[in-house]
Amino acid sequence: MLDSYKRPITYLRISVTDRCNLRCTYCMPEEGIDWIPHQKILSLEEIAEVARVGARLGIKKIRLTGGEPLVRKGIVNLVEEISAIEGIEDIAMTTNGILLPEFAKDLKKAGLHRVNISLDSLDAEKFQKLTRVGQLEEVLEGIQSAKEAGLEPVKINCVVTPSTTTKDKEDLKTFCNKEGLELRFIQEMSLEKGEFSVVEGGEGGNCSICNRLRLTAQGDIMPCLFSSSGYNVKELGIENAYNMAVALKPKSGHSNKVGSFYNIGG
Ligand code: SAM
Ligand code: SF4
């Protein structure tokens, strides 16, 4: 698939759920979240079918995200189904890591290649404040289990917020060097305000080479994180939704008034 700016579209990021076991301050409000009703969320079979059709149209890389992908029941089966699709060369996951001790080995066996784990600070108190409910120790155990399971390279995503200090960054750099992890810093963004930034150490944020589409948990294929347009696979049919999203992918997005990080998946 080539979009109207001749960018090849080969990468699909799938948000498998908007639910999460953390409440990071930059991502979700503490309460009062309008969860997507269960009956509107795509089933695992529907997600796998979107991936299959995508592979036929030229998608080669898939990332599972959320919300927290590991709170979605049946996630290991979904990985297994997607990894069996001909043409999918790379399958990765972005996770907060809390449930990796439980799932890492099975995910690897099911065909997951690698994980990105979100970790914003190695200061336990600060980590808890940022995530509202998270325990640093659990994420550190998650990182170890990903390494032991061979879900490599393990990449660490650190969101840089106004409370991030030089020490936080330096401590993360030292930790990642020692543990053989790749570290990426992501500036806190606001989708609504169109505050967008390039990912340090990653590919995100460079519109001229953007090869991505996103599938939300309720089945909208979104051509751009910073645009409100979405094309629903149930309403339009899967192939048609892909074609519309690709045809209408903007040169670069400005703002997104309908989505949040936790339902688009970052
Ligand atoms: N729950 C998983 C996790 O935290 O890794 C996956 C979903 S999360 C929405 C995906 C990525 O988006 C994470 O790396 C997270 O840190 C990032 N993110 C969330 N809100 C953000 C914001 N306002 N600005 C920049 N990145 C954000
Ligand atoms: Fe959950 Fe990830 Fe959002 Fe944190 S960033 S609240 S872990 S979805």
Q: Report the CATH number at residue 206.
A: 3.20.20.70
Ligand in closest contact with the CA of 261: 1
Residue 113 domain-assigned? yes
Whole-Å CA distances, 170 to 122, 132, 163, 164: 10, 23, 14, 11
Looking at the 3D structure of the chain, how many domains does it have? 1
Ligand 2: distance of its center to the CA of 129 in Å?
13
What is d(CA 41, CA 28) in angstroms, rounded to the nearest whole number?
Answer: 19
Instruction: For residue 51, give the H/E element and its range.
Output: helix 44-57
Residue 234 domain-assigned? yes
Residue 168 domain-assigned? yes
Residue 158 domain-assigned? yes
Residue 169 domain-assigned? yes
The domain of 69 spans 11-264
Residue 4 domain-assigned? no
What tens-digit pLDDT sequence spans the chain (266 residues)?
A: 999 999 999 999 999 999 999 999 999 999 989 999 999 999 999 999 999 999 999 999 999 999 999 999 999 999 999 999 999 999 999 999 999 999 999 999 999 999 999 999 999 999 999 999 999 999 999 999 999 999 999 999 999 999 999 999 999 999 999 999 999 999 998 887 767 766 766 666 789 999 999 999 999 999 999 888 999 999 999 999 999 999 999 998 888 877 788 888 88
Ligand in closest contact with the CA of 158: 1
Atom of ligand 2 nearest to the CA of 96: 7
Instruction: State both tokens at 42.
Output: 């795509």
